[in-house]
Amino acid sequence: MANEQSNSANPNVDLKYRRKKNAEEMKHQVITFTLMIFFTLIAFAAVGIEGFSHWFIKPVILLLAVVQVIFQLYYFMHMKHKGHGTIALFLFSGLAVGLITVLTFVTIVWI
């Protein structure tokens, strides 16, 4: 676990180890960011390049958005770290209510 404090008797050894851990984690964050930019480019290209059917484009760009948000939540917002059980409960409860609302409004509401 990158974020746990270790109990080394020598704080300087501990510091070196933690700095390395933090730098490693930062490297993963930059990789995540690169992937997110890549997904965004694909989504914009799918819309910008003419010729694709919208039955193809819509599910693809939605999927790219979901993947990107998972990266954002689990890496940038640290949900991949331990001790995020309650947090996941909060978020997924919100998502469950939210998605049912969206589903309702796009299916059984018509104006």
Spatial distance between the Cα atoms of 64 and 59, rounded to a whole number of angstroms:
9
Task: Pick from 31, 38, 80, 94 the residue near other proteins by CB under 8 A.
Answer: 94
Task: Indicate if the alpha-carbon torsion angle 97, 98, 101, 103 is positive or negative.
Answer: negative
| 90 lines the binding site for other proteins (CB under 8 A) | yes
Contacts of 17 (CB under 8 A, 6+ apart): 6, 8
Q: What does the binding site for other proteins look like in residue numbers (CB under 8 A)?
A: 3-6, 11-12, 14-15, 18-19, 21-22, 25-26, 29-30, 33, 36-37, 40, 43-44, 46-48, 54, 57-58, 61-62, 64-65, 68-69, 72-73, 76-77, 86-87, 90-91, 93-95, 97-99, 101-102, 104-106, 109-111
